[in-house]
Amino acid sequence: MNRILADMDAETVHIHDLAVGGEGVGRLEDGRAVFVAATIPGETVRVELIERKKRWARGICVEVLDAAPGRIEPTCEAVGRGCGGCDWQHLEVASRSDLIRGVVDSVLQRQAGIDGECSFGGAVPAFAYRTTLRTAVRNGKAGFRAARSNDLVVVDRCEVAEGQLADLFLVDWASATEVTFRCGARTGERLVVVDPTVPDDLDIPEGVRAVGVDDLSAGKRAWIHENAAGRTWRLSAESFFQSGPEAAELLAATVGRLIADELRAATTIADLYSGVGLFAGALSHLTDAKWTVVESSPSAIADSRINLADISARFVRTDVSRFRDGPFDVVIADPPRSGLRDAGVRTIAAIRGSTVCLVSCDLGAFGRDARQLQAAGFRWRESVALDLFPQTSHVELVSVFDR
């Protein structure tokens, strides 16, 4: 512990809760709430304030006076240098599920206005699971942003990166400002997307394909393949996919389990924000229904046409806010981090889905979306939390609503 920091103007705080976003919550002597990263409910810590507002403050933990069960020393040395990528490295893996349930239940009850609790549906491996990483570059060296900062923490290894990405941290990326690493964990294919352009003298490992952001903007196509849920998926450079094949399988299986009866009985299914077609592809064996997949990304909708060529599907490239069709027996919606928002909820109400399965990757957005869905005539049935991003506080939440 940095004793110089600990001896500064710090305040003793008892951490009593976790906030959405993973920070511990305590009270200052003046009664204001204080949010403190890398702390666990039940701990007493010394906190140095770094942000002060009228009703709340934010601080950094400079000393743990009384540690909670489950606290460990981070195994990644970059955490000590401020890397903001893995904000829950101070937690042992076995402690995560209880903390995740606690955070989700708080959102359900306080933000969504739901008198209920979530269940925990499982996790992916704690390390070496991420098949896509977006890195920043300084002087040719790749790294990650510091927490709540644009400062770069250069790294030569990453514990959550899939093993096939390891040697990419050692490449001299020359004049690049950002590089996205991507691999197919089960196919061995590798791709890097270099911003703004691929340097002429770039020396990368054999078998790695490099494409520049400028190339993609000019219409060039590049992709890899991944095997998951019994299928081979084409994943273009600009298309989103889950954190790895295990995450895709766990997420799709959870959705399938929660609405299996509805899928079997359905004749029409809308897959909103469909991406590369994960749910239609992974769940098509459960139903004879006609799928309508709706996606605004040109690359993702192109991928889905390839990935879903063997099932009965209609492809609609449009923003969900502009989609009007239906009625649908089942609606599956997997919006971006910002959630459904007003426009997405209006679409779901307009297309008259009987059962809605909402996949949320931001709990704050879920709280707002759940309130709006209820106001639009839907009743919450169930929520299942998934740990698809171990070592971080990110939570994937699968929820079912009935009209």
Task: State pLDDT tens for residues 165-220.
Answer: 999 999 999 999 999 999 999 999 999 999 999 999 999 999 999 999 999 999 99
Selected from 3.30.930.10, 2.40.50.100, 3.40.190.10, 2.40.50.140, the CATH number assigned to the domain covering 3-71 reads 2.40.50.140
pLDDT digits (tens, 9 = 90+) for 297-349: 999 999 999 999 999 999 999 999 999 998 999 999 999 999 999 999 999 99
**216 CB-side CA count, 13 A:** 19
From the centroid of its chain, how far is CA 282?
A: 19
Adjacent-strand bridge partners of 192 = 181, 210
- Domains of the chain, by residue range, sit at 3-71, 94-126+242-402, 132-227
In which band, very low, low, confident or very high, does the pLDDT at 5 lie, cut at 50, 70 and 90? Answer: very low
8-state DSSP, 329: S
Average pLDDT over residues 374-393: 97
Q: Where are the alpha helices (DSSP H) in 107-241?
A: 213-217
Q: pLDDT by residue (tens digit) across 263-310?
A: 999 999 999 999 999 999 999 999 999 999 999 999 999 999 999 999
For position 232, what pLDDT does the model report?
98
Are the beta carbons of 334 and 362 closer than 8 angstroms? no
Q: Is 377 helix (H, G, I), strand (E, B) or coil?
A: coil
pLDDT tens-digit series, residues 35-67: 999 999 999 999 999 999 999 999 999 999 999
Per-residue pLDDT at 99 exceeds 90 = yes
pLDDT at 6 (0 to 100): 44
Residue 384's SS3 state is strand
**pTM of the complete model:** 0.94
User: According to the model, what pLDDT value does residue 8 have?
Assistant: 52
Among the residues of 270-351, which ranges form H helices? 278-283, 298-307, 341-350
Q: Which CATH architecture has domain 94-126+242-402?
A: 3-Layer(aba) Sandwich (3.40)
pLDDT band for position 149 (cuts 50, 70, 90): confident
Max CA distance (Å), the chain: 67
Mean pLDDT over 139-159 rounds to: 93
Number of residues that make up the chain: 403
Average of per-residue pLDDT values in the chain: 95
At a CB cut-off of 8 Å and minimum separation 6, what does 169 contact? 135, 142, 155, 156, 157, 158, 161
Residues in contact with 98: Cβ distance below 8 Å, sequence separation at least 6, in sequence order: none
- Cα 256 from chain centroid (whole Å): 19
pLDDT at 3: 43
DSSP 163: G
**Average pLDDT in the 121-129 region?**
98
> Residue 147 pLDDT more than 90?
no
